[in-house]
Amino acid sequence: MGNFNDLINSEKPTLVDFYATWCGPCKILAPMLEEIAGEIGDIAKIIKVDVDTNTDATKKYGIRNVPTLLLFKEGEIVWRQSGVSDKKTIIENIKKFV
């Protein structure tokens, strides 16, 4: 969990995708997040957290639905979205905190 904490405490925004391998909407969101990562470059990080194997983080952040996106800046949650969101909305929210 130390590495996770290092990532979310960064000055650079970190988008965390809480997902599950069995989740249909998560499979829809995954390629979109790859596209977003390519478009935003190094202005932010995007990481994936499997809710079934990372139960500590799942409980700590109250993840009840997948997919859930949390955007962290300096350790604080600055944006939260459950379900599949559109690419434009995700990028706009990331850029607000750069």
94 as an active site residue: the answer is no
Is 97:13 a contact under the CB 8 Å cutoff?
Answer: yes
62 as an active site residue: the answer is no
| φ, ψ at 27 (rounded to 5°) | -70, -25
Residue type, 62: G
Which of 15, 16, 23, 44 is an active site residue? Answer: 23
Residues 56, 62, 66, 72: is their CA dihedral positive or negative?
negative
Rounded Cα distance between 30 and 97, Å, is: 22
Which of 26, 49, 51, 57 is an active site residue? Answer: 26
Q: Which positions are catalytic?
A: 23, 26
